[in-house]
Structure 1
Amino acid sequence: MNAKSIQRLMYLLGFLDLGGVMLIIPLFVVHLRTLGMTPMVGGIVRSFYGVLQLLSSPLVGRWSDKYGRRPLLLACLSVTAIGYFVLGATSSVLIIVVSRIVTGIFKHSTTLCKAVLADVTEVEERSQVLGKFNAAMGAAVILGPAVGGNLTDLENGFRLVCNISTFIFVLNVALCFAFLPNELPHHSQSEKHKVISKQTSKDEQEQTSKRSEEQQEGALNHLIQESEPSEEEQEETMGHIIKVIRDIDWQVFGDIFLVDFFLTFAAFTYRASFVLIIDQMFGASPKTIGYIISFQGIIGAMAGFLTGKISKLYQNSQLELFHSSLLQGAALLVLTFAPNVLSVILLLIPLSLSSTVIQTSTSTIIIERSDPSKIGSVTGFGQSIQAIATMTTPLLSSMAQEVSVYGPGVLASLSAVVGAALAGYVAHTKKLRKEKEL
């Protein structure tokens, strides 16, 4: 199987993978509530899932480098299929929690698909190929919730949706088993599974191995080592983490990292309880919720096309960040007290647009401030901020919801206000620096 065919296979696997997830996940919290689980307990389950994803990701990545992408991808897809089957087959909260723990450890199929794409794609073509892969997953985000919401409205709908998701993952297992070769084409960066031609020089092999190791150790979330690691491996990994933290100039990046944290926390806090909020405030059906989430996906995709034009209009990333953070805070505050579903749908437009622009502008500012030789480490640390928000917001949002149905929205709005104030400080500081230079 040539590289192009493998790329097309990964696009299909990515679409089916996220499609299977999006059939279930948007309405998962409503299902937990029908089983008698409080929002706080549901938040704990979802936060713990995020923790497991973060901790198991480097371990699965190392195993895929050691044993090959195909066996790890087959294992992850198979375990995920079992996890979603159990999710639909049981009404026991304990069994659901256990299934989510197992799924959290092994649900890395999307990451492995990206690794396969990187392995089989020339360096200069990777951005385009990964863009197509993300587009395929974006289509799944749009279609999955709408289809899942319609099916969940049927009798025993959640079980039906889980069974369909299980079938999708079993289909992915079959496709991977039948068409993905054990030995990938020679663009692979895996040290132990790269097919190296006889003409490749020793220096090129060493450089490839070095890049592979740097990719594995480049992010702060690689805190988990393989079982029973040697003392040398522990010291090397911890030394790398400490080095990354020390290498970051906090006087340069401290303010923008704080802005990134508060604005990301705001968006994730509201998103974490969005389904339950719509359900509790307006009694929306699963079908309606599914359509709303699909609409969010459409707006997010459209916003992605507008960010470039907005950046060209501003020509100032700091000011762009400040204004978009103000828009996010205002949208969250009005959404919190929206009187009806139509108002929620309309307010999702400025919220999605501002969140997309915030992601782009913060990344631009971080890169602009970075030394070219340290961009990977700095941006990797920036990504860990999102990982922290992903882990903490389900729990904190559910705690706020225990107090009031407006709790998550108020908490998100406060975080957005703090982020906007800090973004204003960043923009003002930038302006003063320019004035001094003149």
Structure 2
Amino acid sequence: MVGGYLTELEGGFYLTAFICFSVFILNAGLVWLFPWCEAKLSSAEKGQPARRNSAPWGRRGGHRQETATPRRSAVRTRPARPPCLEFASTLRDMKSLIFSEMWDIFAVRLLMAVAVMLYYSNFVLALEERFGVRPRVAGYLISYGSALGALAGLALGPLLRLYRHDGHALLLHSSALTCLLLLLHASARSVPVAVLCSSLLAVSTAVGRTCITDLQLAAGGAQASGTVIGVGQSVTAVGRIIAPLLSGLAQEVSPCGPPSLGAALALVAIFLMSLNRARYGGAGGGSDKLKRE
């Protein structure tokens, strides 16, 4: 909303860029000054929370720390490997995870990420070309959609209870709704229809993001949760790389090209989910497994 307002001012782009730079510097300063606490590896291995009296970085008593940890570290210390070997081992683990039985989940995540980003990448330009909407109004619309997405996150609990904690079914239905809304937005001829599609898309995409993460964790297990989340974020990052290129090419064909292409990719994702429904189906299968873990 602020960006849309500033863009219409003289030199607004430079002012917006400077504000973004200032926010990043402020964020870095807060991270530097905030009293972060060090996590205890030994406590994590035992499944216990870190001690409450753990001191912030750089503020720990030197003598007390030296006398408290030698025996424990002598027992648990592992021979360190070179960083290059650690990096190669991590890449092998990620490759085996991507090409495991979870490949369809990552494929669905990539397709849906590209589909949604195709819609958002040239959103302001498409509104201006199709409906003559000014950047300020487009900024209001983006902020409105973000607020609806936040509210949709709060409604996810009742939705899962309504689906009896069947995350796969909820993901399938939210993806189908996303595909339908992208098609409707591509064929919209008036601003109210575009606003309605944007409102419902904010809800369906927020629900879909949470469901796909829940499904990843349920399929991968709690022991590999960090690796699974990391690979999922990497897949989404690949989607962010691909989407602007595809969006630019589709925009050259038609202003309605990006959402139409996004709807096609979402349809492929729905087809993949339907093929593998037997593996992840069942009332509460995925979520219950995650809760047991």
TM above 0.5, yes or no, is: yes
Aligned length: 263
How far apart in 2 are the matches of 1:351 and 1:273? 15
In structure 2, the residue matched to 1:385 is 235
- CA drift at 1:159: 3.2
Residue segments in structure 1 that go unaligned for 5+ positions in a row: 1-145, 214-230
* Residue 244 in structure 1 maps to residue 99 in structure 2: no
How far apart in 1 are the matches of 2:26 and 2:102? 45
In structure 2, the residue matched to 1:86 is none
Letter in 2 for 1:282: F
User: How do 1:137-152 and structure 2 match up within 5 A?
Assistant: 146-152=1-7
- CA drift at 1:157: 2.7
How far apart in 2 are the matches of 1:378 and 1:335? 33
- CA drift at 1:152: 2.1
User: How do 1:263-278 and structure 2 match up within 5 A?
Assistant: 263-278=112-127
- CA drift at 1:295: 0.7
Kept in 2, the 8 Å contact 1:325–1:423? The answer is no
Letter in 2 for 1:289: A
How far apart in 1 are the matches of 2:252 and 2:142? 23
Letter in 1 for 2:137: T
- Structure 1 stretches of 4+ with a deviation exceeding 6 A read 206-210
- Of the three residues 336, 342, 345, the one matched with 2:195 is 345
Change beyond 3 A, Cα 1:208–1:336: farther
- The alignment's C-alpha RMSD in Å is 3.3
- CA drift at 1:164: 4.1
* Residue 302 in structure 1 maps to residue 151 in structure 2: yes
Change beyond 3 A, Cα 1:254–1:207: farther
In structure 1, the residue matched to 2:17 is 162
User: How do 1:206-225 and structure 2 match up within 5 A?
Assistant: none
- CA drift at 1:201: 1.8
- CA drift at 1:148: 2.2
Letter in 1 for 2:247: S
Letter in 2 for 1:398: G
How far apart in 1 are the matches of 2:19 and 2:223? 47
Kept in 2, the 8 Å contact 1:261–1:385? The answer is yes
**Deviations along 1:184-206, whole A, 9 cap, x unmatched?**
5652679xx66463453236668
How far apart in 2 are the matches of 1:304 and 1:238? 37
In structure 2, the residue matched to 1:401 is 251
- CA drift at 1:331: 0.6
Kept in 2, the 8 Å contact 1:322–1:427? The answer is no
Letter in 2 for 1:264: A
Kept in 1, the 8 Å contact 2:98–2:106? The answer is no
- CA drift at 1:208: 10
Letter in 2 for 1:253: M
* Residue 280 in structure 1 maps to residue 129 in structure 2: yes
* Residue 357 in structure 1 maps to residue 212 in structure 2: no
In structure 1, the residue matched to 2:263 is 413
Kept in 1, the 8 Å contact 2:124–2:135? The answer is no
How far apart in 1 are the matches of 2:234 and 2:20? 29
Residue segments in structure 2 that go unaligned for 5+ positions in a row: 42-56, 285-293
Task: Give the alignment's TM-score, normalised by structure 1.
Answer: 0.53
In structure 2, the residue matched to 1:202 is 70
- Of the three residues 166, 169, 175, the one matched with 1:319 is 169
How far apart in 1 are the matches of 2:136 and 2:195? 14
How far apart in 2 are the matches of 1:171 and 1:431? 46
How far apart in 1 are the matches of 2:112 and 2:203? 13
- CA drift at 1:284: 1.3
**Deviations along 1:20-78, whole A, 9 cap, x unmatched?**
xxxxxxxxxxxxxxxxxxxxxxxxxxxxxxxxxxxxxxxxxxxxxxxxxxxxxxxxxxx
Letter in 2 for 1:180: L
In structure 2, the residue matched to 1:65 is none
If asked which structure has higher relative contact order (CA below 8 Å, sep 6+), I would say 2
Letter in 2 for 1:241: L
- CA drift at 1:298: 0.6
Task: Give the alignment's TM-score, normalised by structure 2.
Answer: 0.77
Kept in 2, the 8 Å contact 1:328–1:416? The answer is yes
Kept in 2, the 8 Å contact 1:189–1:209? The answer is no
Kept in 1, the 8 Å contact 2:169–2:281? The answer is no
Q: Secondary structure at the match of 1:187?
A: coil
Change beyond 3 A, Cα 1:278–1:232: same
Letter in 1 for 2:174: S
Change beyond 3 A, Cα 1:340–1:203: farther
User: 235-244 vs 283-292, which deviates more?
Assistant: 235-244
Change beyond 3 A, Cα 1:164–1:424: same
How far apart in 1 are the matches of 2:71 and 2:191? 61
Q: Secondary structure at the match of 2:122?
A: helix
**Deviations along 1:331-377, whole A, 9 cap, x unmatched?**
11101121122221111122111111111221222222223322222
Greater fraction helix: 1
How far apart in 2 are the matches of 1:370 and 1:426? 16
Letter in 1 for 2:238: I
